[in-house]
Amino acid sequence: MTSTRPASERPPPQLPESDEDWKQLYTMTPVEAQERGFGNWDGGLFLLPWEWFSHIPMWFEVECINGGTSVWGSAMVRDDDSRKGHLAYGVRLGPSKV
């Protein structure tokens, strides 16, 4: 499956390389998240770039757009469902505005 990113958004830059790089994603600002190619879902949840799907570490905790949180690849359904170039999972960087 491929995902369609809006033409107004550039592709995400380089993937996080180390576990430490992945952990730092939890401490990004919303501006940094958008610069890294994350999609803003609800004002606080920033969706991972679709291109990262097969590279997400199995220990990485994500939040689904339905509000549930889980460690990647564990009890949650691990699929490449996408929203405009972003996975339906991401990291919460602030409160929801919905």
Model confidence over 24-40: pLDDT tens digits?
999 999 999 989 999 99
The confidence band for 89, taking pLDDT boundaries of 50, 70 and 90, is very high
Q: What angle do CA 83, 84, 87 make, to 5 degrees?
A: 40
Rounded to 5 degrees, what are φ and ψ at 34? -65, -35
User: pLDDT at position 60, please?
Assistant: 94
Domain that holds residue 78: 19-92
Give the chain's domain count: 1
Domain membership flag for residue 48: yes
Domain membership flag for residue 38: yes
Domain membership flag for residue 14: no
Domain membership flag for residue 2: no
Domain membership flag for residue 28: yes
User: pLDDT at position 78, please?
Assistant: 65
Q: Which tokens hold the place of 72?
A: 């990647």
User: pLDDT at position 4, please?
Assistant: 75
> Would you give the distance in Å from CA 88 to the centre of its chain?
8
What are the beta bridge partners of residue 52?
A: none
Domain membership flag for residue 88: yes
> Would you give the distance in Å from CA 15 to the centre of its chain?
12
| 83 or 42: which leads in pLDDT | 42
| 8 or 17: which leads in pLDDT | 17
Domain membership flag for residue 83: yes
Q: What distance in Å separates the CA atoms of residue 98 and residue 22, rounded to the nearest whole number?
A: 27
Domain membership flag for residue 23: yes
Q: Which tokens hold the place of 38?
A: 């994350």
Q: Which of 7-21, 28-42, 63-77 has the lowest mean pLDDT?
A: 63-77
